[in-house]
Structure 1
Amino acid sequence: MNRRALLSGLAAQAALLPGAARALGSSPHPAPRPDGLWRRAVPELGELLRAADLGGQTSLAVIDLRSGLALESVAGGTPLPPASVAKAATALYGLRVLGPEHRYTTRLLATGPIRAGRLDGDLILAGSGDPSLDTAALAGLADRLRAAGVSEVAGALRVQGSALPEIRSIDPGQPDHLGYSPAIAGLNLNFNRVYFEWKRQGSDYAITMDARTGALRPQVRVSSMSVQPRNLPIYTYEQRGAADHWTVARDALGAEGGRWLPVRNPAAYAADVFRTLCGAQGIRVTLGPPLAVLPDTATLIASHDSETLPGLLRGMLKYSTNVTAECIGLTASTALGARPDSLQASGAQMAAWHSAQLMGAGPIRFADHSGLGDRSRISSLDMARLLSTHGTRTALTPLLKPYLPRDASGARMASAPAQVVAKTGTLNFVSGLAGYITPPSGRALAFAIFSADIDRRAALSRAERERPEGGRAWARRARRLQNDLVLRWSRLYGA
């Protein structure tokens, strides 16, 4: 067989092999793609904003952390309400002013000696503003009081919570019954909420109001509930002295259920629960009036320490707990010597502190530390810059919650194009997201996205603020925009 015949035979055999036609029609090295073709697969910014159809205003910015340059911005200098994204600013404020080793201490003190099981004086429960104090912690203090040999208190149980100002509601504009807008004080318990539980029994209802934590469910006397034969309003509230009196519409209850309701007098609530826990230990004690100042002669019996500040902040950012944000913000402002008497005054202190860290910052206003109030204002560019200040990423990244983008079908992406940690924020017709993007290239980015239809929000009545018409659909579109922007920036600047 000559050479020509051999080559012809091999070619004929190759043509019979699977995939041979594809192999013959392709190059062993892919042809170079036109410059920038991959960028054209990333949705245009204007296209994403038009698709969201949010109305109102949207402010967005993304910054390269290494250079400090803004890579992309739309209305970046427009101040908008940050909602709970403000908690990221509060976290940084607390860490820088108080330090990561800061703890809150709740103390149990006596104004007299203990003789033969009797405390000859008052028993004092003194708070320092701990936002995480719960019924289990108070039960531990009652255990230690019993271990100290106390079975009777000759004086009275008195509470002292002047470490922070007493604030009746984080946002008075919210409906009374919403558990995320309770009171704030120097002595807080269970995020200043009481659990209302009901169960139908014949033609009536069995009702409990308790301070539950885990298996502990002490009944509460300073908060009461009455079922009324009506349809609306679902709840009414009245404060009588130190007690909270609620009514609920019978038609709204159904067979059984439960929900958290806010507490408006945290010191009285803590005293009520602690007295019950002491009773469970066989310790007899009556309630006395609160103390404004601790007596110099008071001696320590026991104390309870909170987690260090990073642990408190991690929980705050994960669950967006308003009480934690307000207590930490107030504590930091107090540590700076401000002694604020309101959330507005403390928020102004925090805004001034952040403005001093940012050269050439636009107007920054914080009405509180949680973002629950809608009068706070910060631009996306200043929020991204705030996240870009020296050492901020190192401090906040371990505390922020991972953000997993969704694909076109709405499912969480199993392999996202970048690692993202962020803080979300949601109010009626207000939505925000801010945090850090770290693609495989290691090029770290800080970003912030704020959207708000302020006129639509302002038109809501107080009663409509729990579930306004159109609110959920608007929030879904805002979240979708945030998702698509994070994916855009991950792909566009991650190479």
Structure 2
Amino acid sequence: MRRGAVGLAGAATALVLLAGYAGLDVADAVPGPLTTTPPPTAEPLPTAPAAAAPDEAPAPVLAPPGTAAPVPGTTALQERLAPLLADPALGPAPSAVVSDALTGEVLLSLAADAPRTPASVTKLLTAAAALHVLGPGSRAATTVVRGTSPDEVVLVAGGDVLLSAGTGDPGAVAGRAGLADLAAATADALREAGTGTVAVRLDDALFSGPAVSPAWGAGDVAAGYVAPVAPLAVDEGRLVPGQDAPRAADPALEAARTFARLLAEQGVAVAPADVDGGVARAAADSGAPVLARVESATTAEQVELVLTESDNTLAEVLGRRVALATGRPGTFEDAGAAVAAAVADLGVDVTGVQLQGVSGLGRGTRLPARVLTDLLVLATSDERPELSALLSGLPVAGVTGTLAERYRGESAAAAGVVRAKTGTLTGVSSLAGYVRDADGRVLAFAVLSDAVPAGASWGARRAEDALAAALAACGCS
């Protein structure tokens, strides 16, 4: 898939519809299958009745916020939304916040400070932290360096799990860097140095701790909802192109084996054990000469991918990179702590935030709806241009990502004027993002439901979409 780079001219321009993805994330496309309690492959829940796609794409979503459009009146807004928030499909205790995106004025507040299990809307925090700490233009590098002996090279993992097994595509996010390019450059450097035979080693010590979180469901990896977290992978560990499952049990080692094979195809004699898959792990010397290097897409582009497709694996990798950049170890726990700290550093009150990993897969994750809307309001501010990709990465209702198949039927009028992150776990449904109301005012909203009745997940999604559609239709000034 191809994505353009994110412009940093300010959040106002980022609110305009950009070229987006059309893929759906397994975790959020159908409520129910993604669960942190085994088995992970629950029977799919009913989907909405099929509706014909519009002949033309909706008009650009969310024009830049300005002061001309009136702010909705709180009483009128609350009266309109109260019946929707009382929908039984949302469970007995949903929480919701609606704020003016320009001023931050809270227009509706329902259990705003109560921590809830948020599912994948957690990725909004991860995205903001990555943009703030790593920087929108930063990239992850994969390098090959000289080993401790002249006949040894070390493949050094730098945090890119979107590598292509072939040549890289400079216009892509997934597959921007290619192992075939890395192997070709390594072979050229070895030939120039007069080295004809090498052993391939792997240094993937960038991250620490377990690669699979105990907070995930027992079958989440096997079902392809997420890969074991590693600092190096080809296509996030997918073993069959275009299919989320199966995933490599050791993505970094699998990538190293692919690199060794590609190096051999370049005419370099590689130790037979390495070609057969027996790549050994070895730490690279800090001052070892670099033979070859490839770089990932920018952090901003990766954030867009995380949000649009609700990519669990990439979210966890970005979280660990944030942890390392702030002096913490690269573990699940430290990623959660680092992301929360980074959001706090942006000026958002993170009271009540508890992150169990940073993708939303951990059912122990808790956060208040207020944190989401506060962050969304902040992201529209020209004071935080680094957060631009957080806005441009959000799925567009009825058009892209995890909202591509939503906002049909009764909510169709809101297609193209809602931009939001979805979240789905068994018993959990959430939606947070922006909407332009009938008067032209841009509003930030969040609704979290973590006590959705059994069998009501589709109904919860429909209720959330109805709420966002009501905001879009509201001329409540």
TM-score, normalising length from structure 2? 0.70
Choose which of 214, 218, 232 in structure 2 pairs with 1:174.
218
Whether contact under 8 Å (2:322, 2:338) holds in the other structure is no
1:429 is matched with which residue: 424, 427, 430? 427
Aligned counterparts of 1:332 and 1:494: Cα–Cα separation in 2? 41
**2:459 counterpart letter in structure 1:** R
Corresponding residue for residue 371 of structure 1: 360
Matched, 1:45 2:81: yes
Q: Is contact 1:141-1:304 (8 Å) kept?
A: yes
Call closer, same or farther: CA 1:416–1:494 in 2, change over 3 Å.
farther
SS in 1 for 2:441: coil
Opposite residue 324 of structure 2, the aligned amino acid is T
- Which residue of 1 is the match for residue 337 of structure 2? 348
SS of 2:245's equivalent in the other structure is strand
Aligned partner letter, 2:457: A
Instruction: Identify the match of residue 290 of structure 1 among 256, 276, 281.
Output: 281
Deviations 1:346-387 (A, max 9, x none): 202222332454465531111111111111111112211121
* Residue 410 (1) aligns with residue 409 (2): yes
Counterpart secondary structure, 1:373: coil
- Aligned partners of 2:210, 2:406: CA distance in 1, in Å? 43
* Residue 321 of structure 2 is aligned to residue 331 of structure 1: yes
* C-alpha distance in 1 between matches for 2:251 and 2:244: 18
User: Closer, same or farther in 2 for the Cα pair 1:449/1:162, shift >3 Å?
Assistant: same
Q: CA, structure 1 residues 262+331, in 2 after alignment: closer, same or farther (shift >3 Å)?
A: same
Distance in 2 (alpha carbons) for counterparts of 1:408 and 1:394: 25
**Is 1:142 aligned to residue 183 of structure 2?**
yes
Count of paired positions: 373
Partner of 2:174: none
1:29 aligns to what?
none
Q: Which residue of 2 aligns with 1:9?
A: none
Superposition pairs for residues 26-425 of structure 1, below 5 Å?
44-111=80-147, 120-136=150-166, 137-148=178-189, 150=191, 154-165=197-208, 167-170=210-213, 171-175=215-219, 176-195=221-240, 212=241, 260-286=245-271, 287=274, 288-292=279-283, 294-296=284-286, 298-340=288-330, 342-358=331-347, 361-389=350-378, 390-391=381-382, 394-404=388-398, 410=409, 413=412, 416=414, 419-425=417-423
Q: What is the one-letter code of the residue matched to 2:268?
A: I
Displacement of 1:41 in angstroms is: 12
- CA shift for structure 1 position 439: 3.4
Amino acid at match of 2:368: S
**What corresponds to 1:12 in structure 2?**
none
User: C-alpha separation between the residues in 2 aligned to 1:61 and 1:182?
Assistant: 33
Conserved in 2, the CA contact under 8 Å of 1:169 and 1:184?
A: yes
When residues 291 and 319 of structure 1 are mapped into structure 2, their CA distance, relative to the original with a 3 A threshold, is: same
CA contact (8 A) 1:79 1:377 kept: yes
List gaps (5 residues or longer) in structure 1: 1-35, 114-119, 196-211, 214-257, 457-469
Question: Residue 493 and residue 87 in structure 1: after superposition, are their counterparts in 2 closer, same or farther (change >3 A)?
Answer: farther
Q: For 1:33-66, what per-residue CA distance to the aligned partner results, in whole angstroms no more than 9, with x for missing partners?
A: xxx9xx9999843432343434353111110123
Relative distance call for 1:133 and 1:354 in structure 2 (3 A) is: same
Q: CA deviation at 1:432?
A: 1.1
**Greater strand share, 1 or 2?**
1
Match of 1:478 among 431, 437, 460: 460
2-side partners of 1:186 and 1:193: how far apart? 15
User: How high is the TM-score relative to the length of structure 1?
Assistant: 0.68
- Flag the 1:123–1:408 CA change in 2: closer, same or farther, 3 A: closer
- Any conservation in 1 of the 2:142–2:158 contact (CA below 8 Å)? yes
Question: 2: CA distance between counterparts of 1:349 and 1:407?
Answer: 33
2:186, 2:357 → 1: CA distance? 37
Matches of 1:146 and 1:67 in 2, distance apart?
57
What residue in structure 1 maps to residue 173 of structure 2? none
3-state DSSP class of the match of 1:339? coil
Which amino acid in the other structure matches residue 144 of structure 1?
A: A
Residue 444 (structure 1) aligns with: 442
* Displacement after TM superposition at 1:159 (Å): 0.8
Amino acid at match of 2:151: G
Give the number of the structure whose alpha-carbon radius of gyration is greater. Answer: 1
Tell me if structure 2 keeps the 8 A contact 1:431–1:475.
Answer: yes
Could you say if the C-alpha distance between residues 409 and 401 of structure 1 is closer, same or farther in structure 2, counting changes exceeding 3 Å? closer
Query: Residue 409 of structure 2: SS of its match in structure 1?
Result: coil
The answer for unaligned runs of 5 or more in structure 2 is: 1-71, 167-177
Identity, % of aligned pairs? Answer: 28
**Whole-angstrom distance in 2 between the partners of 1:410 and 1:417:** 10
Q: Aligned in 2, Cα 1:346/1:352: closer, same or farther, shift over 3 Å?
A: same
CA contact (8 A) 2:164 2:179 kept: yes
Secondary structure (helix, strand or coil) at the match of 1:316 reads helix
Checking the alignment, whether the CA contact within 8 Å between 1:426 and 1:432 is kept in structure 2 is yes
Query: What is the distance in 2 between the residues matched to 1:359 and 1:259?
Result: 35
Residue by residue over 1:438-461, the C-alpha shift from the partner in whole angstroms, topping out at 9 and shown as x without a partner, is: 23644221111111128x7xxxxx
Measured in 2, the distance between the counterparts of 1:484 and 1:305 equals 42
Q: Which has the higher contact order (CA 8 A, sep 6+)?
A: 2
